[in-house]
Structure formats: C-alpha cells, structure tokens
Structure 1
C-alpha cells in the first residue's frame, strides 16, 4: 500500500471499500498462479535441478512431485511413486535409504558424508535459496514455506535445530507434530564413513566427474584469492599483525563483532549479601513477633486486638510476596558499537531487523493532538534505518481531529527529521527539545546550527498554531457531522459505528524530506466498530495494529508506546535490538521493557508519580529471575511471542523446575527420571508442525491414498481457526525475520488491511485468548506478559544511561488516584478469572519467584481492607482508652524493637543497591497508604461487582494536559471524586483521636501519659503517611471542592458528638456523682 493511496475506509462484512482523495483508479488485482508444474502432493511448484532442468522424481511416469516430497517419501513413506507404484530411484544429492543399490550411478560421496547439509541444501533449493551458504548464515532459522490459497508459495522462516545452539524449536501452534524430514543432528555423533572400492570408477561415487572438478577448482581459486588479500594487508600493515595497519584494525573489528551485544552487570556482593541476610533475619523476627501477638490477647479490648492481629498477618504475607521476587536484582549494559559492527556496517546494506512502532490514542480532547504529534515526530526521527521503521497510530475514537493533526505532523516531519539527524539533537520531540533549559550549543560545531535552529523553532511554532486551530475547530461538532477538505463526509462521525480506516502518510511513494531522503512509514489506523460487537478497548486496538502491520510491513519486532510517551533517546530501538538480536538471548526473549520516566513533575514528587521504587527496585529484582512484568508502554516485543509460539528452549531450559526436583530427588540419583521428564517435555513442546501450509483444493486432489492424519496436518483450516481468515496475514506469521512474503501481490494488501481490522475478524479465533494482547481485564498488560512468561519466554529490563522514553504525568491527586483505581480494578478481574497466577500455568515454564511476583500484582488491592482498619485503629484506641497491645515485659518489647529495626534495615539496604533516594522511598510509602485507603479499596468492590454481578465500570482516560496558569498549577487541585472520602475520614478521626487522647491525659494526671505515648505514636505515624493528602487538601482553600468541605464538616460534627459523649474533661468521680452514685470519695 503506497502513501499516495489516500484514506481508505471499508467494511469486510459489508463488502465495502472506499478510497477518499485518490488520484488513480487502480483497484486490487487477484493473485495469479505461478507458472510451472505443481506438485500433486503438497501443491508447491516442482522446482528445478542444479542443472536447470525440471525435477523428475519418477523416471517411469514422470508424475509431478517436488524434491522435498520425494525425499520424504523415500525416507518415511512407501518409497514408491503414488501413480505407477514404481520404487523411487536415488537422485544425485539425495541421502541413501534402506534398499538403495550401491551400484547406482547417481551415487555421490559428498552427501553420504554430510547428510544434514545435503538435506538442508535440498530444502534451500526447494525454497529457491542459494545452497552454498556461509557458516554464519546456517545459524539462521529456516522454515518450510507456507502456501496461500491458489497455491502460491511464499517465503518465510521457522527456526530448526542447529548443531551450535543444540536447541529445539518448541511451538504450540495449530499445525500438529513436527516435520519428520527435519532431523536434529547431534554434532557429537560420529560421521558415517563409506568404504570406496578403488577398482571402480570414481564417477560412480560422484568423484572425478565434471561437477566435482569444478568444485575443487573453485575452492582452489578462492583460497588463492584469500591468500593474495592477506598478503596485501600484511604489506599495508608492514607485516605487523598487531600494528596500526588496516589488517590489525579489521581483525579487531571482526573480534568486536563476535562479542556479546549486552552483558549482565552483577550487583556487588558487598551490597547484596547483607541485604539477603537482613531479609532472612526479618523473616525469623516476624515469625516470633506474630507468635507473640497471637498468644497474648488483650482481654479488655479483644475486638481491637483480633482485628490488629489479622491485619498484621496479612501484611506479613503481602511483604513476603513483594520481597522475595527481589532476591536476584541485576543490572545490564549494552554495546551499540558491537551491534553496528555486526548488523549495521557503514557502506553496506543494514541487517538490522525491521521494527513496527505502535502509538495508541482514544480521545484527542483528553490526549492533546500536540502531545501525540511530538511522540510521532520523535519516532520518525529515531536513529534507525528509515526502511526498517514504521509508525502506526491507532485512533480508537475515529476522531477527525487526530487524522488532520497527523496529516500536519507528516508535513512538518519533512523538515524536522533531517534537522534532527544532521545536528544529532536529543530529545527529538520538538516541544521538549525547545523547552530545555540547558546550553543547546554544547558540542555543536557546525556554523549553520544556530541559524537553522532558529528557523526550525519558528517552523515549529507555526506548526503549533495550526494544531491549535484544529483543536479549536473541533470543540463543537456540526449537526451534519464532520466533512473533509474535499467535501466528503468523515467516515468516523459515529465513533461506535464506523468502517475501518487506513491512511499511509509517509513511506513508500510518500514523498521525501527536505534533504531528498526517504522517511519512515507513517500509517493512520482506525479499526472498524459496529454495535453488537465486543471491542475490548485498548487490547483490541493493539491486536488490530498487530494484524494490519503484519499485512503492510511485518516488522520482526513491535514497540508500543502511549501517545504521551515520546522517544527521549533516539537510540532506544537499537538498545532493544542489543537483546533481541543477540544470539544468546534473542530466541528466548519475548520483550524488552524500558522504565517509565516523566516530565512536568514537581521537585518533591508529592504524589509519587515517578514511581521510582517500582521501576528501579521491583523490576530490577525481577530481571534476575525471568524478567520484568509488562507495564503497558515503552516495550519492544518479539512478534513471534505475541503470536502465541513457544521460545527456543535449550537442555537447561527443559530441566524440571524446582517443584519437580523436590519431588524426584537429586539429579544424580534420579538421572533416569529427569531424562524421561526432559524427553516428555520436548515431545510435548513439538506440537506445531514445521511443514508448509497447502491449498485445500490441491490437498484434496493429492492426498488420495494417504491416511486422514497426514491430510489433517496439511490443512490450513487449523491456521484460520487460530489467526483468522486472512491468507496474507497467515503467510506473514511465518516470516520470523520480518518482511512481506515475496509472492504477495501489493495490490491485494489494501483489501487485506481493511479485512484484518474488521469488527468480526476475531470471531471464533484465538485472538485475545492465546494470541496478541490478552482480553479479560482492563490491565491487559499484566495478562499479556503473564501468558508469555508461562510459556517459558524471558523478558529483559533495559535501563540505558539516557532514559529511552519520557511521558507526562498528572501532578494533581485526583487523576493519579483514578489511574491507580483502573490498575487495581484490572488486578481484581485477573484474580477472579481463570488466568489467575495462583492456579494458572503450572504446566508451563513459569519460575516460582516470577509466579510470586505475578500473584503480588493481582492480590495487592486486597491489602486495602486491612490497611483501612489498621489506620483507623489508633483513633479508636485514643477515643476508647484501650490499646491493641497488652502490657509487655522487657523481653517481649525486644521483638517490637527488632521488628522495627529490621524493617528500616531492609529499606536502607534496598536503597543502597538500587540507588533510589530515601525521599523517593518515603514518597512511595506515603502514596501506598493514600492509594490503599482510597483507590485500591474502591477497586475491590468494583471488581467484585463486575465479575459477580456483571456491572461494568467505565474506563476513563487520564488527562494528559494541565492548566495553563502555572507550571504546577494543578498541584493543589482536588477534582471531586468519591475516592477522596476514605482518606479524609481516616485523617479526621485520627486528628480527633489525638485531641481526645491528649485531653484525657491532661485531665487524668501524669500516670496516664505513659500508655498515651504508644497510641499517639501510632496515630501520628498514620497522619505522617497521609500528610501529602492533607497538604493538598489545605494548600489552596479557594480550589478545594465544596463537597469536600461539606463532608469534612459532617464528619467533624459526628466526632464532636462522640466527643461530648465521652466528655474527657470530667473526672470519673464527678460523673458518678452526677448520676447519684456517690461513693467514699465524694
């Protein structure tokens, strides 16, 4: 699909396809049959021999059979022609099978000595590839070719086992068991040796003939040429291998290119060992503390004591789930220079993998178009080959404002992208680049930079004015709906009922930048929506992008960002490729997760919007186990992992997990059991066939005489049931290295792209269940990452020195609480679903500590219930004069002291190895209490209502814009929400409790001050955690909502009445006298 095709809108079910503002009338053309004979078994072309002749399997009847089917029949079939039943004779290059005659004239010794290579060469010839590949290319994964309908072959790759990595491609796809003519060759096995009779002519063995002589002569010429080059290099280097000549430099470069692209930087043991010791000590102390609390009740305050003990037991379990996944924290570093030497040498075509970048947006009024435009501009200017990058913008609200702003962005990108690359500026989002308060002339040496920067800033300001004009125009929708510039009605006027829309703005035939260079492809996508269909919100939009990108560009890797997360580091994609394209990690890595960093947050980060503790401590800890969880943005995916395939597993990966080991005993004693287990796991993992996909009509004609099982394996219906009824998309799923199948007709891509984003495409498929973003929760990111990890994939946490992405976070309290509410609601949905980590995925390869981390991500909202009770306990203790702890001895007080010391020691040692500041840690603790007593509590009830009663809560998009009256104008703004009621209540009752407790102590004398200190400390500790909330509540009285004031007065009145009922200033004797109960003290 070309960029000049205009806006394309259509509906697959309605058989509609409309082009708006299109200049030509070229419509889609049907796919044509390829010329040549067709194999009557698999439907592929028969192919040619090495001499250029048509391959003839049977010399008797010439029944058309391709070379791979011929090899398969000889090795695993009945070794005879399906038509005349004559036994197949061995052709040159074919491996010998039982029954072949040694006197056969087509015998060749070369393939006898290397069966695996011969079989691979035959397979490459079948695919039309060059059989004489280098040793490095043999490490690349190979795959038989899937066929589309009409019998057209497409090129693709599926990895097979190689002797170097000794790994097994384990898949769980729909094709059935693995292809039997793709054997696993063990390099340790002895090479089969054949005895040659010297009395015979060597031509009968394939030696001495013309072909053999040509090969020998070619080999000699190649060796002579290499020697001449080496000699000339020595002369340039003056014979010194380690000198400064070109030879030494090239050898050094070659050595660097073979080095790993990344490495794990272990945290010093001097930091980790004390940390782990303190964790163990804290666990022991916690056990003794809980044992003491459970066995020493408070008799006159039994309800308060029981509630406190239950809360403390839950807090202990919550701490275990949060702490132990941080047992193996690691750091990583990448080597971009080695990546360039291996895949992106100057003067040579780039071998970097193609990447498709996804940007998702819904409502342009909440997610301003200017913010989205900056994100898109930073993607288009990324430091990556332009032909390897494509940007897809998903407009799930079908807003004409988004479309028009993207059109303006594409025009401005023609000027902005060459400016960024010429002067190597960072960041490459113009709004944030021009807003930097730094010396922008640092490291700039070109005299024209100042003039060009001034001109570019003016261009950007004019661009902002045009975007602002579009936003102002979009504030009020006309009664007849929006119309485009040519007078055509906008197809997306009804956001809930509109056809699918696609527009390619930049890319192939989309124009050049001001320097005459190509630009990355920019595609606008709005999936079809119709009433009566479930659209699955963001997860459904992302799955639509997966399919449409596979049809148009099919990048091997996908990178998704939110519309407000721009590329702060232009080399972010290369950072991810250091892991994805690394031979050691690439085949097992499902995604590379980058941390989230934010702009526009006040210096003290009052509401912990940066979330530093989660990104710099928790995710680092998970990186040492099986990888970080997917956090929804700033993540680079392996497309094959999203398709539901299993990773490449080695012998070590196939070993039993810790549960199996504990059941089976040690490895030495139970070697036989482990071997059987590994064999069983390997056999179970080979559930996806690597055979090609065939035309159904050709199969029905060619499978006569074969059993039903083989016919089922060659069926394409299983793939259509899995991926949907799009032959072009199905063919693209087999292109592991990316790219469009060579046989795909470009004119059909337009119709297929509209087809795969239609509203009913996912019906009766595995989309959202096993493939793509997983449905079932508003936090689709947790489910998606969990499914991948359960299959055995690993993920990588990449923290480059310059943050890869930066976003805008709201700085007022109400919006973050609503966002936390959505996350917690999604966790409750997962907790009550079949995908709950507590019971799902035990047959996979999910590691124990990784499972604990996922369990923690879905049960943490439940902590809000005991947290709310525990925060209210100090007030009740102060108002009633009771306490949750009985009078303790000096020995018992030791457990309290040790517990507090271990808690602080754990936190301090965490800060030591992570580099997080104590201020960030304290802000995180404060917001944990604020969120726990508000958003998490509401999420529990909303999740229960949705799952048990079917009452769905609306998904609201967090506003990405702030008021214009100050840099931190919204810092004290409290937009009214019911989430503010619980923390307000907790805060007021604790303040009232403190006043009541102090008043009671003053009235009762000095003997009551001792017990009061423990209660006061308890209450002040709660208020200290709620201090940011209190400061925001009282910071700007003129901005505090009236409803909050009303609630505060109401709650204060209630507790004032309680105060009067308690009457702490009146002594007990006076109260008794007033009731007529005068005693000896009267």
Structure 2
C-alpha cells in the first residue's frame, strides 16, 4: 500500500518535474541529488526565468517530500482490519504473502500529460500474485514478471534494469546504450550494455573498498575486449530478444572457432561438426524485422509463418517455453518491439494480470533458459553467463559522466554481509549444472570469457589458503621456526622474476586504467579482509546449502548509535559472526609478534636478524587488516566483548595446540629432547 500511494504521489510530481528538467537541461534528474548539489546552479543557465522556476520547483519538491514522509509515518501503524482504498474496499495486498496480482497504469497512453501538455513516459505499478506454496524466486522472479508485463503492455525492444538504490546521474544514459544497440552490425549480436557502478556517500578514503574501482575500471574494462563484461545486476540495458533465449544473428566470421588449428602446410584443418552446425543454423535465420502473423494464427497454429523460428516451433513448444499467453508469445516475435497490430487493447490489462500469476511459470522455461535465471542468489552472473554461452556479446559503456549512481553500505558489518551474499552466489553456481568449468563446452562461449567466469565463481575457495598464509607468520614467531625453507640462488632468481612480473603487470594495469595507487591498495586490503571472513563463511554455507539442503542465515543486529554527521553510518557497529575469523587472525599475529620479540630479547643480539624477517610477514598481514581493525574499534574505540572473547579463545587454543603438537619436529627428535630415547639416543 505504501509503494502504491508513493507511486501515485510521484506520478503527480513528475507532471511538473519532467518539463522543468527538459526545459533547463537539469542534471542529474533525481531531485534529491540535484537540490543537494553544492555547485553554482546558475552556470550555463541563460534563461532569465530559471531562478524563479527553480525556487518554485524546490518548494514543490519539499512539499512532495512532506507528503511522502506522511505516508511512511502512516504505514508504521497498520490498522487491525487492514488497509482500505479510497472507495472503502479492502486493499488486496494486506497479506504480503497471499494476494492477487495487481496492476495500475499511472502515466502514459491513459491520459498522463505533463504541465506543458506533452505525453509522459508510461508509469505502471505491478505487484505479482503471491500464494502460499509457490516459489517466487525473489528478485529474479520479480524481474521475469516485469518482462512479461512490459511485453504485453508496451513491448519495447530494449529494457533498462536499475536497482531501487540507484538513480540516473545522466539523462543521456539510454542514448549512450542505443549507440551500440542500434548499430547495424553490432546491435544484432549485443545482448546488453553494462554501465559501471558509481556511488555517493562513501568516505573520502573508501575504507572498505565500496567503490570497487579495480573491478569496474580494470577487470570489467578488460573483459570488454573478449566477449564483453558480466552483468552486475543494475545499470544495464538489455536486448529483449536475448532475454527470451533466442540466438544472436552472427556472421560467418563470428562463428569461427576460438582457436584456429592449422596444418603443417599452413591450411586450416577441417572444421568441427559443432562449428558447421552452428554456421548452418545461424545462416538460415531470417533477417526480417517482424514476421507476418495475426492472433488467430497463433491460437490455431503457426503453420505458414515466414519467420523460420515460428515454422520450427509447434504451439505446444511455444507454450512450454513462454507460458500459456498467446498475446505474450506473439510479442516475442516482434524483434523491433511494439504490440502486434491485431491485438485488442481492451484485453491487454487482463492478459498482463494473467502473466504475473504465481502459477504462470510452471512447466515453462522461465528461470531455466529464458529471462533471469534461477538457482543462485547472484542471479545476475547466471543470466549474463547464459547469454554469453549462446554467442551473444556484451558492451561496457564508460561515458565521461557516470550514467548511474547508487548508495553503498559503508559500515563494516553491512559491507561484509554484502560480500558474503556475492560469494555465496558464486559457490552455488560452482556446484550447479551452470558451472562455467563444464557448462556448454563446444558452444559459442570464448575460452578467455570462460576463464573469466571461472575466476568469478571459484574466488571464495581462495579463502582457505589465504587463512593459512595469514596465520603462518604468527606460527613462525610462536615456534621460533621459519616455515619457508632456505632456497638456492637459482630458485631465488626465479622468485624475484615472478614477483617482478606480477609487480610490472600491476603497474601496467594501473597506467592503462587510470586507477590510483590508493584505490588499488584499498582493494588489496579488502581482498584479505573479505577472504578471511565473508568468503570463508560462504564456502561452508554454500556446501551446507548445496549438499545438505541447509540454508544458514547469519543474522545481523544493530548496535545503538547516537552519531551524527555525513559518515555517521561508518561508525555504526552491527554484531555478526563474520567478525570472528579476521579478529582471530589479528590476535594470533599480535601475540606472535610479542612472543617473537620476547624470545629475541632473551636470546641475545644474534637472534634479532631472523626475527625481523619473521616480523615483516606478520606486519604485512596486520597492514592488510588495518581497515578491519579500525572499523572494529569504531569511533569510540569500543569493541564488543563477545568478539574479543571468542577471538582470544580461538587464538589461544590454536597457539597451544600448535606448540604442543609441533608438527615440524619428528617423533625421534621429540624423544631426544625429552630424554626418553634410551639406547637409540
């Protein structure tokens, strides 16, 4: 009810806000962020009426915010009998888990005009049907319902996906995407155009690497030279045909194998069978933009269509693929968008309600082969991977002005839980049939693109060796032994060369991408923080979920906070189990440093040389975990007792067990040390 009424208020405000933005070329067009800007808003504004109109619009917006806040306050107290609508009837969505599908068109062809008399873009409220016993698949299911509703009502050829915590920072975002989507050669094989994510409200030094600069400005930019970037869940413009599971229109050059094998004479060997099959199938695809058909043909059968896809599919196969909606099925063949000409406008709303019913996807390919793919909490990775596996390419668009901006969790606990969700999704994909390691070999997914996807799903497992490497320096100090054996000069040379190549690669990446050294270092630090906490939990939680069917949720409870200021949220502490492993690693290394220094003091000057080598590695671990330590202490240098107790307990148990077992000394050496070897000494 709150969403419905807020959308109604938004529609009324849009009638004034949209013409104001168009008249004065306002950027950004999100009013909250536009009026918050601390800039000279008179710059480049030559119309004398601008100041007066801006002042009036700001007043309108403040009144709009008051009305929205009043709705939010009203929604906090739910009446015992439930909400009622303006006409006195009960609100159908009083039970959020059991209600019918609801659609309300606020703006568009129904008469929604702005104050200048121009037609506004269509604004539609959609609430899909919810019933007990039906799986709704969260965001992926909601997106699939929106695909079907939009296809029935408007059927635009392209879709834009933006999360609720993001906003348009540039009104030219769609135009940027259309430069690629409508390109005569590139557009036929482009499944989506992905924009980088940019964020507001992050502290100056980006303590927890919320901006993800290395990922968005190096990794994603690099993928643009292979088969395209991955879909990251927001800020993405889609080709509707790609979401329907259709193959791209590829040329013969596109169908060439990724690696061309040549004979000793220089000629190519015979092309493999899968390549020839792909070529024959794709060359047969018609290039007509819209087939000739009518609704009667779809209901009676599809024989006689000029489009070969329609000729090959029987009516039952269409229903099994898209569901039992003739109008929606007809819209899937309109490659350039638009409603089929024979469709009755009066029946569209009824059909739109039908396609968002909770049982519509049963026994269809929704979530399996078409639309957003189910099976992982990171449905975005799965969805993009399926498109790339069919041969589609994607584009990474990085205009000078960021097209979309959003908000990011800036306190430690929320950030770790966000990383946990991403890592858990990767583990789920790793153990699913869609795992890039083995899925669709011999298809159209390029080898390097497959390697990139494999890297995306296996990275949580690196937390296991990372934990070991973070603990080993402390073990060296506690046992007074150096875990790394002495190496020869020859082996040392190779080690130096390897380290130099890694260093040179990093420098070249930074120069190529324009990423600063501080952003790179923050990324390295949070890789260790996430690897020793969220990634480790994701591995075990994912194994429990996939192998045993146990869905473990880590609850987060907020700690009271009285801080004010722009970054007050940065110092809010929320208890979560994710804090224990990295805190334990910190305690072990700090204890190891104290033990190592104590041993050196008691052993004389000759022991200080080896000590510095051991201390270096422990200090290196602590430097990587420094943002975590700073966030753990908070602004008032207070750490929850439970975190300290658990971490010290685990560190003590680990240290005592290691000293007791001492795995680097053989049984004979132990016996000699204890004087129990007898005649064997």
Contact 2:299 2:326 survives alignment (8 Å): no
The reply on whether 1:432 has 2:33 as its aligned counterpart is yes
- Rounded to whole Å, the distance in 2 between the matches of 1:777 and 1:912 is 36
Contact 2:99 2:130 survives alignment (8 Å): yes
Deviations 1:599-656 (Å, cap 9, x if unpaired)? 0001100000000000000011100000000000000000000000000110101222
Q: Structure 1 residues 788 and 958 mapped into 2: Cα distance closer, same or farther (>3 Å)?
A: farther
Q: Structure 1 residues 1039 and 753 mapped into 2: Cα distance closer, same or farther (>3 Å)?
A: farther
- Rounded to whole Å, the distance in 1 between the matches of 2:566 and 2:501 is 40
Aligned match of 2:195: 594
Kindly state the Cα deviation for residue 900 of structure 1 after the two structures are TM-superposed. 3.0
The reply on whether 1:860 has 2:459 as its aligned counterpart is yes
Contact 2:167 2:405 survives alignment (8 Å): yes
Q: Structure 1 residues 848 and 407 mapped into 2: Cα distance closer, same or farther (>3 Å)?
A: same
- Rounded to whole Å, the distance in 1 between the matches of 2:445 and 2:263 is 20
Deviations 1:82-138 (Å, cap 9, x if unpaired)? xxxxxxxxxxxxxxxxxxxxxxxxxxxxxxxxxxxxxxxxxxxxxxxxxxxxxxxxx
Aligned match of 1:478: 79
Aligned match of 1:681: 278
Kindly state the Cα deviation for residue 668 of structure 1 after the two structures are TM-superposed. 5.1
Larger Rg: 1
Deviations 1:438-460 (Å, cap 9, x if unpaired)? 11111111111111111111111
The match for 1:568 among 166, 169, 175 is: 169
- Rounded to whole Å, the distance in 2 between the matches of 1:504 and 1:711 is 32
The reply on whether 1:926 has 2:511 as its aligned counterpart is no
Deviations 1:489-510 (Å, cap 9, x if unpaired)? 2211111111111111111123
Give the secondary-structure state (helix, strand or coil) at the position aligned to 1:505: strand
- Rounded to whole Å, the distance in 1 between the matches of 2:41 and 2:465 is 52
- Rounded to whole Å, the distance in 2 between the matches of 1:628 and 1:711 is 31
Aligned match of 2:669: none
The match for 1:647 among 248, 251, 254 is: 248
Contact 1:699 1:714 survives alignment (8 Å): no
The reply on whether 1:873 has 2:472 as its aligned counterpart is yes
Kindly state the Cα deviation for residue 899 of structure 1 after the two structures are TM-superposed. 3.2
Give the secondary-structure state (helix, strand or coil) at the position aligned to 2:575: coil
Q: Structure 1 residues 987 and 479 mapped into 2: Cα distance closer, same or farther (>3 Å)?
A: same
The match for 1:504 among 105, 109, 112 is: 105
Taking the TM superposition and a 5 Å limit, the aligned residue runs for 1:102-251 are: none
Taking the TM superposition and a 5 Å limit, the aligned residue runs for 1:669-748 are: 669-670=267-268, 673-674=270-271, 679-685=276-282, 695=297, 713=312, 715-748=314-347
Deviations 1:338-394 (Å, cap 9, x if unpaired)? xxxxxxxxxxxxxxxxxxxxxxxxxxxxxxxxxxxxxxxxxxxxxxxxxxxxxxxxx
Give the secondary-structure state (helix, strand or coil) at the position aligned to 1:464: helix
Give the secondary-structure state (helix, strand or coil) at the position aligned to 2:207: coil
Kindly state the Cα deviation for residue 1009 of structure 1 after the two structures are TM-superposed. 1.6
Deviations 1:769-808 (Å, cap 9, x if unpaired)? 1111111111001111011101110000000000000001
RMSD: 3.0
Aligned match of 2:375: 776
The reply on whether 1:526 has 2:127 as its aligned counterpart is yes
Counting matched residue pairs gives 656
Q: Structure 1 residues 1033 and 955 mapped into 2: Cα distance closer, same or farther (>3 Å)?
A: closer
- Rounded to whole Å, the distance in 1 between the matches of 2:386 and 2:654 is 50
Taking the TM superposition and a 5 Å limit, the aligned residue runs for 1:180-579 are: 400-579=1-180
Q: Structure 1 residues 654 and 521 mapped into 2: Cα distance closer, same or farther (>3 Å)?
A: same
Q: Structure 1 residues 845 and 683 mapped into 2: Cα distance closer, same or farther (>3 Å)?
A: same
The match for 2:506 among 902, 907, 912 is: 907
Contact 2:251 2:283 survives alignment (8 Å): no
Kindly state the Cα deviation for residue 842 of structure 1 after the two structures are TM-superposed. 1.4
Q: What is the TM-score normalised by the length of structure 2?
A: 0.91
Q: Structure 1 residues 955 and 580 mapped into 2: Cα distance closer, same or farther (>3 Å)?
A: farther
- Rounded to whole Å, the distance in 2 between the matches of 1:529 and 1:571 is 37
- Rounded to whole Å, the distance in 2 between the matches of 1:697 and 1:617 is 50
Contact 2:581 2:647 survives alignment (8 Å): no
Kindly state the Cα deviation for residue 479 of structure 1 after the two structures are TM-superposed. 2.2
Deviations 1:496-534 (Å, cap 9, x if unpaired)? 111111111111123321222211111111111111111
- Rounded to whole Å, the distance in 2 between the matches of 1:519 and 1:1015 is 67
- Rounded to whole Å, the distance in 2 between the matches of 1:1043 and 1:884 is 32
Deviations 1:874-931 (Å, cap 9, x if unpaired)? 1111101112212334444333333333322221111001000000000000000000
Taking the TM superposition and a 5 Å limit, the aligned residue runs for 1:564-643 are: 564-643=165-244
Kindly state the Cα deviation for residue 468 of structure 1 after the two structures are TM-superposed. 1.3
The match for 1:819 among 383, 400, 418 is: 418
- Rounded to whole Å, the distance in 2 between the matches of 1:667 and 1:574 is 49
Contact 1:871 1:1022 survives alignment (8 Å): yes
Aligned match of 1:992: 591
The match for 2:630 among 1003, 1008, 1031 is: 1031
- Rounded to whole Å, the distance in 2 between the matches of 1:908 and 1:601 is 26
The match for 1:947 among 536, 541, 546 is: 546
Kindly state the Cα deviation for residue 686 of structure 1 after the two structures are TM-superposed. 7.0
Give the secondary-structure state (helix, strand or coil) at the position aligned to 1:636: strand
- Rounded to whole Å, the distance in 1 between the matches of 2:640 and 2:292 is 66
Deviations 1:653-692 (Å, cap 9, x if unpaired)? 122231xx33x64795246x23977543223447989786
Q: Structure 1 residues 484 and 991 mapped into 2: Cα distance closer, same or farther (>3 Å)?
A: same
Contact 1:699 1:711 survives alignment (8 Å): no
Give the secondary-structure state (helix, strand or coil) at the position aligned to 2:162: strand
Aligned match of 2:668: none
- Rounded to whole Å, the distance in 2 between the matches of 1:1022 and 1:765 is 51
Give the secondary-structure state (helix, strand or coil) at the position aligned to 1:970: helix
Aligned match of 1:809: 408
- Rounded to whole Å, the distance in 2 between the matches of 1:834 and 1:669 is 37
Q: Structure 1 residues 544 and 953 mapped into 2: Cα distance closer, same or farther (>3 Å)?
A: farther
Q: Structure 1 residues 972 and 899 mapped into 2: Cα distance closer, same or farther (>3 Å)?
A: farther
Contact 1:996 1:1059 survives alignment (8 Å): no
Q: What is the TM-score normalised by the length of structure 1?
A: 0.58
- Rounded to whole Å, the distance in 2 between the matches of 1:987 and 1:996 is 14
The match for 1:897 among 496, 506, 518 is: 496
Moved more, 446-455 or 710-719: 710-719
- Rounded to whole Å, the distance in 2 between the matches of 1:724 and 1:958 is 42
Moved more, 529-538 or 848-857: 529-538
Aligned match of 1:1022: 621
Q: Structure 1 residues 973 and 1060 mapped into 2: Cα distance closer, same or farther (>3 Å)?
A: farther
- Rounded to whole Å, the distance in 2 between the matches of 1:914 and 1:711 is 46
Taking the TM superposition and a 5 Å limit, the aligned residue runs for 1:24-35 are: none
Kindly state the Cα deviation for residue 816 of structure 1 after the two structures are TM-superposed. 1.2
- Rounded to whole Å, the distance in 1 between the matches of 2:64 and 2:640 is 37
Kindly state the Cα deviation for residue 1047 of structure 1 after the two structures are TM-superposed. 3.0
Give the secondary-structure state (helix, strand or coil) at the position aligned to 1:971: helix
Give the secondary-structure state (helix, strand or coil) at the position aligned to 1:626: coil
- Rounded to whole Å, the distance in 2 between the matches of 1:852 and 1:1052 is 37
Give the secondary-structure state (helix, strand or coil) at the position aligned to 2:571: coil
Structure 2 regions of 5+ residues with no counterpart? Answer: 662-673, 677-681
Q: Greater helix percent: which structure?
A: 2
Aligned match of 2:485: 886
- Rounded to whole Å, the distance in 2 between the matches of 1:1038 and 1:1019 is 23
The match for 1:1006 among 605, 612, 620 is: 605
- Rounded to whole Å, the distance in 2 between the matches of 1:464 and 1:991 is 51
Aligned match of 1:1065: none
Give the secondary-structure state (helix, strand or coil) at the position aligned to 2:191: strand
